[in-house]
Structure 1
Amino acid sequence: MSGMIGAMLVTVLVVAAYVAFRAINRDDLELEREPIDYLPVVSALQEAGNDGIAYPPTLPNGWNAVDAKQTPEGWALDLYTSQNRYLGLRQQDRQLRDMVAEFLDGEAEEGDEVEIPGDLGPTWQTFSDRDGDHAIATKVGEEYVVVFGSIDLDQIKVFAGSLTTEPLPDASAAAE
């Protein structure tokens, strides 16, 4: 019986030593998110009657969409820039201050209104947090569109200016 307990004790010690060795010698785990095509999600939302979906018809060179989905409050698009920096787009029927508090530091400061030429209207409100993240927001219909991330505010403005609510061509009609 003592031989069995000794064998179990040795096995546990070997497993614990292996786990400790791997933890010490492991590089930080980097998760790469696979690029996706977000336009079919936009098309499906438009076909379901969501005519005012704000989306970029194209992405800047080297940028990738990594998530696009309908949410209970609206829709969400997650992107990474060519420098692997995060940018999010949310369009939701919620209070703007609640959205900004969720997407930026809860103590984000409201900045100036800026004029951004584009399809969504010229006036956008800016926000920044103490970590250097930025957001801009405008109202489209009854919903707010918020573009936010860890990139330069000027890049966020350029991206926001590219957004449109134009209907995408019907994919089923194009296949015929």
Structure 2
Amino acid sequence: MRAFSPRRVPTALRLAFAVACLLFVASAAQAQADATSASLSGFVRDQQGAVVAGATVAARNPAINLERSTTTNEEGFYQFVQLPPGEYEVSVEAPNFKRAVYSNLQLTVGQRGELNPELEVGQIGETVTVSDATTNIVETNKTVVANTITEERIDNLPINERSAT
């Protein structure tokens, strides 16, 4: 059996401190990313409710010229993380299905939106455009009443240093 060595304690403490610092920095970076971006996910299904695996889902923000695309997995699930907030157009394509386009989808900072597209069977060249009335992004992770505060409203807040006379 080894005897206790006081030399090992400082080395072990330094290692533990380094690991703790690394975990703190990693969690802070993730929190910062969550605080400045949004995410969008969902399941792609057909009209009968069956999953559509291998569908291509593209999210496009024309205001900042950003386009990201992904492919659904075997359960029909797709996910976009760290999307800049803004207005998006989401298109979904799969072989033997009509292309579906969802426009004017608004994503805000910190939002985890869910959009579950439904594809119609049809020719590859056909497109189904879904109107704004039915393209609400559902946020299933939170149950809060929230509102976005504009920069103008913040500028007009009464502050103690401003003179009321």
Same fold (TM over 0.5): no
> Relative to total residues, which structure has the larger strand share, 1 or 2?
2
> Relative to total residues, which structure has the larger helix share, 1 or 2?
1
Q: TM (normalized to structure 1)?
A: 0.29
Q: TM (normalized to structure 2)?
A: 0.31
